[in-house]
Amino acid sequence: MRLRKLRDEFPDRFVVEWRAYPLRPEPDPNARFEGTYREAAWARCQTLARDDGVTINRWSGATYPNWSLPALEAAKCVARHDAEAFERVHVRLYEAFFTHGRNIADRDEVTAIVRESGVDMRRFAADYASDEARHEVLRDYEEAVAQHGVRAIPTVVIGARRLVGLTELAEYRKATEETGG
């Protein structure tokens, strides 16, 4: 939301280039929510996101997702063909996970979310069945680590600055103004 606001504020100078960054490139069978750093981080984000009109509910799903690669792959598949559809899918995947407690590690669940977004499902299914999107996601991950030292999400790179974590809009704006966009 904050990046979209900046994009609207600086339409000729600010371009958002979404890159995939899986926190876990491999499934973690021990991933859980309650009593972990995830629960504390979630509560912090829940408070900060309210100002942006974003609803983050405490995780209540049956099984906490053990990785995000299926969702990231789906977003890559959609982005290849339709920028507007990518925006819809991107928002829907976030809402599915953070607001509705849906398991974005489950490929069937992710496919249902994409379908709800009004995407060309024939094209999506063909892309999602291939390994190309997975390779693109992993390439984004490797580049983020090697080029920008990314170790957490969100990490926003504006010029030479790396802003880590949920950052105030004013800080994003300052970095944008310092770099000329």
pLDDT of the residue at 132 = 96
pLDDT of the residue at 18 = 87
Band the pLDDT of 33: cuts 50, 70, 90. confident
Q: Residue 155 forms beta bridges with which residues?
A: 164
Q: Where are the domains positioned within the chain?
A: 2-179
Which of 29-38, 100-109, 134-143 is the least confident region? 29-38
Q: How far is CA 131 from the centre of its chain?
A: 20
pLDDT in tens, 108-119: 999 999 999 999
Give the whole-angstrom CA distance, residue 171 versus residue 181: 13
Band the pLDDT of 80: cuts 50, 70, 90. very high
The yes or no reply on domain 2-179 and CATH 3.40.30.10 is yes
| Amino acid at position 137, single letter | V
Average pLDDT of span 26-47: 87
Average pLDDT of span 58-85: 93
Average pLDDT of span 131-151: 93
Average pLDDT of span 13-31: 86
pLDDT of the residue at 181 = 55
Per cent of the chain over pLDDT 70 is 99
Average pLDDT of span 72-94: 95
pLDDT of the residue at 4 = 84
